[in-house]
A and B are shown apart, each in its own frame.
Chain A
Amino acid sequence: MRLLILVAALALGGCFYDNTSPLPADFGSCAAPEPEGVAPAAPTYWRDLKPIVDAHCAGCHIQGGVAPFPLTTYRELYEYRSKSAAMVETRAMPPWQPAACCGHYRGDRSLTADQVATFVAWYDAGALEGDPADATPSEPPVPEALPRVDVEVRMAQAFTPEPRVGKDELRCFLLPQTFATATYITGTNVIPSNHSIAHHAVLFAVPADKIAELKARDGADGRPGWDCYSSTDELDARGAVGGWQPGDGPQLLPDGVGVEVKAGSQLVLNMHYDTGAGTGSDQTTVQLMTSPSVARVSRGVAIMNPLWFAGDGMEIRADDPDATVFFAYDPTPLFSKGQPFTVERVMLHMHELGTIGRLAVLHPDGTSDCLLNITDWNFHWMTTYTLAAPVAIQPGDKLYLECHWDNTAGNQKTVDGNRQAPRTIGWGADEEMCAAVVSYSEAL
Chain B
Amino acid sequence: MSASLSGFRTIGRAALIVVAALAAGCGAYTSYKQTRLTPRGHTDYLFAAELQGASTGMDGAPMPEIAVGARRRVHDRIDVGATGTILPLGEAITSASAEVSGKLALGRHGRWSAALGTGVGYRVTTSSGAVFEGVHAAVPVILGVDLGRHQLVLSPTVGYERLWSSGARPVSLPFAGYSLGFRWQLARRWALLPEATVGYTPARNYRTDSSQLFQVGLAVLFTR
- A residues contacting B by CB (< 8 A) are 3-4, 7-8, 10-12, 14, 16-19, 185, 188, 190, 200-202, 229-233, 236-245, 248, 251, 253, 259, 298-302, 304-315, 324-335, 338, 345, 347, 349, 382-384, 396, 398, 402, 426-427, 433, 435, 437-440
B205 touches A433 (CB 8 A): no
3 residue pairs, one from A and one from B, having the closest CB atoms: A243-B3, A300-B7, A16-B164
Q: B13 contacts the other chain (Cβ, under 8 Å)?
A: yes
- Closest Cβ–Cβ distance, residue A6 to chain B (whole Å): 10
Most buried by A among B4, B14, B121, B127: B4
The A/B interface has a contact count, at CB < 8 Å, of: 227
Whether B160 and A11, one on each chain, are in contact in the complex, defined by CB atoms closer than 8 angstroms, is yes
Which of B132-140, B150-158, B190-198 faces chain A?
B132-140
Asked whether, in the complex, the Cβ of B12 is within 8 Å of the Cβ of A298, the reply is: no
Query: What residues on B are CB-neighbors of A10 within 8 Å?
Result: 135, 162
User: Is B87 on the interface with A (CB-CB < 8 A)?
Assistant: no
A-contact 0/1 string along B161-186, CB 8 Å cutoff: 11111111111110000000000000
B146 within 8 A of A: no
Closest to B15 in A: A306
Residue contact B3 to A325, C-beta cutoff 8 Å: no
Determine the chain B residues whose CB is within 8 A of the CB of A326 once the complex forms.
166-167
B8 and A244: CB pair below 8 A?
no
B residues with a Cβ closer than 8 A to A are 1-14, 16-18, 20-22, 56, 58-59, 90-92, 100, 120-122, 127-130, 132-133, 135-137, 160-173, 203-207, 211
Does B169 lie within 8 Å of A312, measured CB to CB?
yes
Using CB atoms, name the residue of chain B closest to A437: B8
Interface of chain A, helix or strand or loop or mixed?
mixed
In contact, A330 and B170 (Cβ under 8 angstroms) = no
A190 to B6, CA, bound (A): 12
- Distance in angstroms between the alpha carbons of A185 and B91 in the assembled complex: 33
* C-alpha gap A442/B100 in the complex (Å): 48
Indicate if the CB atoms of A200 and B2 lie closer than 8 Å.
Answer: yes
Do residues A309 and B163 form an inter-chain contact, with CB atoms below 8 A? no
> A259 to B7, Cβ gap below 8 A?
yes
Task: Return chain B residues, CB-CB under 8 Å to A331.
Answer: 128
Query: A16-B133, A245-B3, A402-B167 are known contacts; what are 20 more A-B pairs with Cβ within 8 Å?
Result: A4-B100, A8-B137, A16-B164, A17-B164, A200-B1, A200-B3, A237-B11, A240-B5, A240-B8, A241-B6, A310-B203, A312-B171, A327-B165, A328-B166, A333-B91, A334-B16, A334-B128, A347-B5, A435-B1, A440-B7
